[in-house]
Amino acid sequence: MTKQTEGGRTKREARILFRAGANRDGWFDADDLLRQVDKAIDIFEAKTNGFAKGLWLFDNAPGHQKRAPNALSARNMTKNPSATWLPKSGVPMRDGWFMDGQNKISQPLYFPADHPTMPRWFKGMERIIQECGLWPERGLKAQCFDSFAKCLPGRTGCCCRRLLFNQPDFVSQKPQLQEYIESRSHFCDFYPKYHPETNFIEQYWGYSKLHYRNTPLTNNIQEMEKNVKEALDKASLLQIRRWANRAARFISSYAQGLDGAEAAYANRKFHGHRMLPAHVAASLKEEFKEMA
């Protein structure tokens, strides 16, 4: 979070100038994003005096879907107890849970420190499944074939790994970005993949990049940063709101059953609306067919 003094007032920003490269600031990863979101939420809560909840929206990039280091994952688990096993993150997994009737039971995946023979050992998939009451009499292999991905389609309990993968505590595992935002009592959601028209920041980026391309060639990093900031500040708040309304119209159109081409046509026709009127979707489909 940068701070700029303007007219004696301190302006707080969530924007980060990041010099990407192996010999510079490295690469912007999920942890960098978490730190930026943390600062952005601080600013939001200060602006709203803590009386509002924010809806934080992100595109569906892999980095945004990264799970916490201690997140539940059935991949690579050993079937039997192990004193040394850890997930790839090197961090012990958090507790899981299972339902016993109407009761949600917490389930540690590691033996307690005072266990007589296996203190702090990973329990192994077989023991975890047994504690859930799901171990079949016939037993289970650790994994089907040589790859978890090769389980037969539709199978949910063919091996230990697949059975755990389909348990509610594993299924409900959220990205660490979403977990963090919700831990601060805000809302988090992700735009659908391959639909940049629903995310108005794409238009903001395009607008800013266009202005940056039109700036003269720079001689040093200081000039470059100055031009980048000016390009990013070029869009007015009114223009950003118009882009947001355009994205909202696409979302509204898709929600009412229009396809991509129909949604684009509806967006042009109802560009003065924030959302597509609910009663016009069917007539728009017919109108679009006649034009095709």
Block means of pLDDT (10 residues each) for the chain, 292 residues, are 54 85 89 94 93 94 93 94 94 95 95 96 97 94 88 91 95 96 96 92 95 92 92 94 93 89 86 79 76 68
CA–CA–CA angle 85, 113, 166 (5° rounding): 50
DSSP letter at 149 equals G
Residue 20 has a pLDDT of 87
Q: What six digits make up the tokens of 234?
A: 């070029």
Amino acid at 221: I
DSSP letter at 234 equals -
Residue 277 has a pLDDT of 79
Q: Is residue 177 within 8 Å of 60, Cβ to Cβ? A: no
Residue 5 has a pLDDT of 53
Q: Is residue 240 within 8 Å of 200, Cβ to Cβ? A: yes
- For residues 248 and 243, what is the distance between their CA atoms, to the nearest angstrom? 9
DSSP element (H, E) containing 105: strand 103-107
Q: What six digits make up the tokens of 38?
A: 């943390």
Residue 67 has a pLDDT of 94
Residue 1 has a pLDDT of 46
Characterize the bridge pairing of strands 2-6 and 9-13. antiparallel
Q: What pTM was estimated for this model as a whole?
A: 0.84
Residue 274 has a pLDDT of 79
DSSP element (H, E) containing 201: helix 201-213
Q: Which of 184, 156, 154, 153 is nearest to 168 (CA)?
A: 156
246-256 burial, b if ≥16 CB within 10 A, otherwise e? Answer: bbbbbbbbbeb
- For residues 220 and 204, what is the distance between their CA atoms, to the nearest angstrom? 25
Q: Which of 53, 61, 58 is nearest to 187 (CA)?
A: 53
Report the 10 Å Cβ neighbour count for 129: 21
Report the 10 Å Cβ neighbour count for 169: 18
Residue 199 has a pLDDT of 94
